């Protein structure tokens, strides 16, 4: 059972910047792909300008998501919070988190930048080096079961240590709730990685395929450059 298989520690990966060869794949809307996938557009619901009620991923990433979803236990489905993201939305998320940290007493400078980029990628519209969500190869998601969203130990976008994917792997004597959370994160992790995605170790909900950081972790060819606008050419 996937729930019994520990989430392995992050593997050492390439520190050189992989080359990106844009493959030209269009993006697919996720809400109509499978009964096992639903979209809960978190940033749209939170009122961010430039968001839409649909979530999009590049075609191969979307099809791999379907593959993973179809292996969910009966009565479960994926809940997608976000896929492709515009530069405007990436910038707003970054700015909002920065303001939160400043209110907590952080001061402008390198330490603040480092803390910020742990949880929100630096906004980049360089199509050869885009922030992951701008490429259409990154997805934020959880799992819904018969009784609602599974307990993953934190809310989506809880920017704390507890959000680290392996946080509950390290508990020495986990109580029943911690065991449940650990099993739920394992289920998501193994379904997604077996379908070819890589996880961002600081966030249990963030997975990527075909992006620069995916290439760094897998030595595969990065193939998703930045998409700056959704239009009829790329969706
Ligand atoms: C903001 C959060 N949901 C997320 O997606 N974080 C990663 C690091 C990102 O911004 O690419
Ligand atoms: Zn993400």
Phi-psi map region of 94: left, alpha, beta (phi>0 left; psi -120 to 50 alpha): alpha
Query: Is ligand 1 within 6 A of the CB of residue 184?
Result: no
- Out of 25, 54, 203, 208, the active site residue is 203
Domain total of the chain: 1
Range of the domain at 144: 2-8+29-218
* 206 phi, psi to nearest 5 deg: -105, 120
| Phi–psi pair at 65, nearest 5 degrees | -65, -40
Q: Which of 92, 133, 160 to mutate to test the pocket of ligand 1 (most atoms within 8 A of CB)?
A: 133
For residue 15, tell me if it sits in a domain: no
- Distance in Å, CA 225 to ligand 1 centroid: 17
For residue 131, the domain's CATH number is: 3.30.1380.10
Q: Is residue 234 domain-resident?
A: no
Interface confidence (ipTM) of the complex: 0.99
Ligand 1 atom nearest to 200, measured from its CA: 8
Residue 157 in any domain: the answer is: yes
Q: Is residue 81 part of a domain?
A: yes
* 11 Cα to the center of ligand 2, angstroms: 20
The answer to whether position 169 is within a domain reads yes
For residue 223, give the nearest of 210, 206, 208, 205 by alpha carbon.
210
24 assigned to some structural domain: no
> Would residue 95 show up in a list of annotated catalytic residues for this protein?
no
Nearest CA-CA partner of 56 in 235, 212, 225, 202: 235
233 in a structural domain:
no
pLDDT, tens only, 16-34? 788 999 999 999 999 999 9
In this predicted model, what pLDDT tens digit does every residue of 89-143 receive, in sequence order?
999 999 999 999 999 999 999 999 999 999 999 999 999 999 999 999 999 999 9
């Amino acid at each position: 059972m996937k729930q019994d298989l520990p989430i392995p520690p992050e593997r050492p990966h390439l520190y050189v910047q992989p080359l990106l060869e844009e493959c030209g794949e269009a993006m697919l809307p996720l809400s109509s792909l499978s009964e096992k996938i639903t979209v809960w557009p978190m940033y749209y619901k939170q009122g961010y300008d430039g968001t839409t009620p649909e979530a999009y991923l590049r075609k191969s990433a979307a099809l791999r998501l379907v593959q993973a979803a179809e292996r969910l236990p009966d009565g479960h489905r994926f809940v997608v919070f976000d896929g492709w993201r515009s530069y405007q939305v990436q910038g707003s998320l970054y700015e909002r988190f920065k303001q939160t940290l400043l209110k907590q007493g952080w001061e402008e400078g390198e330490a603040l930048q480092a803390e910020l980029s742990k949880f929100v990628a630096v906004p980049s519209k360089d199509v050869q080096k885009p922030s992951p969500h701008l490429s259409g190869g990154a997805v934020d998601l959880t799992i819904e079961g018969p009784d609602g969203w599974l307990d993953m130990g934190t809310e989506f976008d809880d920017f704390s240590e507890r959000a680290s994917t392996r946080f509950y792997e390290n508990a020495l004597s986990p109580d029943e709730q911690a065991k449940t959370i650990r099993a739920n994160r394992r289920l998501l992790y193994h379904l997604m990685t077996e379908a070819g995605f890589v996880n961002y170790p600081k966030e249990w909900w963030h997975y990527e395929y075909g992006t620069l950081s995916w290439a760094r972790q897998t030595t595969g060819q990065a193939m998703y450059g930045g998409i700056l606008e959704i239009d009829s050419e790329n969706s």
